[in-house]
Structure 1
Amino acid sequence: MVTIRDVAKLAGVSPSTASRVMNDSAMISEATKQRVRQAMKELDYSPNYSARNLVKRHANTIGIVLPVRENQDFLGNNPFFMQLIQGIASVCTEHQFMVSLATGRTEEEMMTNLQNLIRSGHIAKFIFLYSKKNDPVFQFMLEQDVACVVVGQSYGQPTSQVAFVDNDNYRAGQDVATFLLDKGYTQICYAYTDMNELVQADRYAGYEEVMRDHQRPSYAMMLSRVDSEKNEQTLRSFLQKNRQIQAFITCDDAMAIRLQKLFKALKISSRRYAIISFNNSVLAEMAMPSLSSVEIFPMELGQTAARLVLNQTGQEEIAHITHEIIERDSTPNLQQPS
């Protein structure tokens, strides 16, 4: 499919300039307009529906793009995303903007849903609630020439089209590894679901660096978000091969709860292994034992993302939110043998 970027490249201009030509902006010279129109003709390009409509009427909705999940129940079961959305909605409401959620069980379904939102003509900008390597959904959005804010790592440089807001997840991974080492744990495993999700990869990299600096081994175990039977087999096999393991760092609170349930299924005491997780959601407090977790302030993340997307100035922008370890019952000091 021919995109505005293809037109811009052939005409020798930026995508934003090509977009202004399609909107007949007075800021663009006639010579440049002629080059862009000729490129459109040669490529048989038809302007995006939203490019015509956004200049004709007020676009008063922010699109919120959730990560692709086979199980769409994950949103209601994950307080982190709900708090992010609440933060976004609170700022949007103040500015008289609405929010619209985009979800999908597959990347293809997600792109179809996004295209429908864009074609409605009311969506001004989008906020991605995740960042992922080589993400076709995000690349598709860039080709639509709409502004985006990404809640996640700036895997590309911020541009006039894309801004980022994130925690320092690498540092957070370092901090939780140091926290456990200081409590006497030296054999620590990182449990994750998808290293292509950059937040998980960054936390693992931070943990791995600290373990290496302390001349301790690093371990990683991948668990499914949905397949409990497979997870039980995975955990059983991992513990049989690594009987020395003392503690787990999990990619989020939901994973930590899942791990506690697996211990119960395998008839392992819930206090046999220390666990620390991320997000510090209500799940962490309700767990048995209650979970030590990293507070990453999702409401503030959402609010900052909304402010960025509503006030995007065309400047390169990236915002950082702090984090804090909240200690609870799941990480007691390790009792050393006498």
Structure 2
Amino acid sequence: MAQRPKARTGRPPQRREPTIRDVAARAGVSLATVSRVLNNSALVSEEKKRRVLAAVAALGYTPHEAARSLVRRRTNTVAFILPEVSGDFYSQLLKGAELAAREFGFHLLVSGFHGESAEVRKTLRATRGRVDGIVLMWPEVHRDGLLSAIPEGTSVVLLGGAEDPHHPSLALDNVAGTEAAVRHLVSLGHRVIGHLQGPETNLDAQARRHAFLSVIRQTPGAVAVELPGDFTEGRGYEAAPLFLAQKPRPTAIFAANDASAIGLLLRLAELGVAVPEEISLVGFDDIPLARLVNPPLTTVAAGAEELGRKAVELVAASPPHPQPQRVLLPTRLVVRRSTAPPKEQP
């Protein structure tokens, strides 16, 4: 039985839209080369660029904007890689970052590495193709080759740590803040002044210690009484009786951060030592809790929220290979009720 001819619909067959693969095949190049040409990369020879553009014109190829976004690695996402993600200082830093991210239409990815450089490298590699920029806080002396793990073409801003010749960086003015704090104690009449240090390899802690000792050396009759610390409330709590046992005993203590100062304050209260009547106390950071303890803590406002906001602004403004710059954020002394003139000795 003969087959009946198929009825015609009267509509011409639909023309398939050309794809990037069609362009690559016609031009005789790889998909990656086509992508680079479409995104104005300088990594393609003029001869290949002409072939690709000719193929685009002949086929009538129009790049899909979503695909171009992926090729350009525009994800509108910024990764914050921090030593910790808990604690008042980091909460304030991330608050500032989040507010700035909203203004720029960014999303934030946040990761904490708890001091492990291997974990930082792993996290940096995991960001490949997922973020437009990285904000990395690594305040330790040695970076252990961390920056080599940063994905190529990603904008990077460094927080704290040493100045880097290849990436923009942000840091607090630790020196000016510490000098203001210690000179405040000196102006009240204190001459035996304790210092609860931060971690030995932490560059912020080192800068604060050097500034502390500088003011002590410049002050006639001043004596420094130092104890090692680690930026934690627990270490401040442990250090309180150790300071009281020192000869001479300090009449004031400058703690390298607010957390350790609050630990000191709690333990001194338990030991029946009145602050500031018997010992004045100063911290650094001005975390929200500093104004709520009793007595409210005199401290150095470090502007953690501004630090987070400024980091996002730098990422938004930075091409993948920006001119390196070092931005030093100002600090200021906030005098509250934990400092007073020393008690007269009998």
Q: TM-score, normalised by structure 2?
A: 0.72
Specify whether residues 57 and 148 from structure 1 end up closer, same or farther in structure 2 by C-alpha distance, changes over 3 A only: closer
Structure 2 contact 254–283 (Cα < 8 Å) conserved: yes
Shift of 1:300: 1.8
Shift of 1:238: 4.2
Specify whether residues 265 and 108 from structure 1 end up closer, same or farther in structure 2 by C-alpha distance, changes over 3 A only: farther
Aligned equivalent of 2:293:
287
Give 1:297's match in structure 2, choosing from 303, 307, 320.
303
Give 1:80's match in structure 2, choosing from 68, 86, 89.
89
Q: Does 2:329 match 1:326?
A: no
Supply the distance in 2 between the matched residues of 1:299 and 1:80 (Cα, whole angstroms). 8
Aligned equivalent of 2:191:
186
Give 1:59's match in structure 2, choosing from 75, 86, 92.
75
Structure 1 contact 190–248 (Cα < 8 Å) conserved: yes
Shift of 1:145: 6.1
Supply the distance in 2 between the matched residues of 1:163 and 1:27 (Cα, whole angstroms). 24
Aligned equivalent of 2:249:
244
Spell out, residue by residue over 1:141-198, the C-alpha distance to the aligned partner (whole angstroms, 9 max, x if none): 4576633212225x13443xx1112221112111111111001111112212313221
Aligned equivalent of 1:44:
none
Aligned equivalent of 1:7:
none
Specify whether residues 220 and 23 from structure 1 end up closer, same or farther in structure 2 by C-alpha distance, changes over 3 A only: farther
Spell out, residue by residue over 1:287-310, the C-alpha distance to the aligned partner (whole angstroms, 9 max, x if none): 111100111222222211111111
Give 1:102's match in structure 2, choosing from 80, 102, 111.
111
Structure 2 SS opposite 1:123? coil
Give 1:277's match in structure 2, choosing from 271, 280, 283.
283
Supply the distance in 1 between the matched residues of 2:122 and 2:333 (Cα, whole angstroms). 39
Shift of 1:101: 0.5
Structure 2 SS opposite 1:64? strand
Q: TM-score, normalised by structure 1?
A: 0.74
Structure 1 contact 166–320 (Cα < 8 Å) conserved: yes
Supply the distance in 2 between the matched residues of 1:157 and 1:233 (Cα, whole angstroms). 36
What are the within-5 Å matches in structure 2 for residues 142-291 of structure 1? 142=150, 146-153=154-161, 155-159=162-166, 162-215=167-220, 216-224=222-230, 228=234, 234-271=239-276, 272-291=278-297
Give 1:90's match in structure 2, choosing from 89, 93, 99.
99
Shift of 1:231: 6.1
Supply the distance in 1 between the matched residues of 2:41 and 2:237 (Cα, whole angstroms). 64
Aligned equivalent of 1:133:
141
Runs of 5+ consecutive residues of structure 1 not aligned to the other structure: 1-19, 32-52, 70-74
Shift of 1:55: 3.3
Supply the distance in 2 between the matched residues of 1:165 and 1:232 (Cα, whole angstroms). 31
Give 2:42's match in structure 1, choosing from 22, 27, 34.
27
Bigger radius of gyration: 2
One-letter amino acid of the counterpart of residue 191, structure 1: L
Structure 1 SS opposite 2:283? strand
Supply the distance in 2 between the matched residues of 1:227 and 1:274 (Cα, whole angstroms). 17
Supply the distance in 2 between the matched residues of 1:247 and 1:232 (Cα, whole angstroms). 16
Aligned length: 286
Specify whether residues 307 and 233 from structure 1 end up closer, same or farther in structure 2 by C-alpha distance, changes over 3 A only: closer
Specify whether residues 234 and 275 from structure 1 end up closer, same or farther in structure 2 by C-alpha distance, changes over 3 A only: closer
One-letter amino acid of the counterpart of residue 74, structure 2: H
Give 2:313's match in structure 1, choosing from 298, 302, 307.
307
Specify whether residues 334 and 137 from structure 1 end up closer, same or farther in structure 2 by C-alpha distance, changes over 3 A only: farther
**What percentage of aligned pairs have identical amino acids?**
19
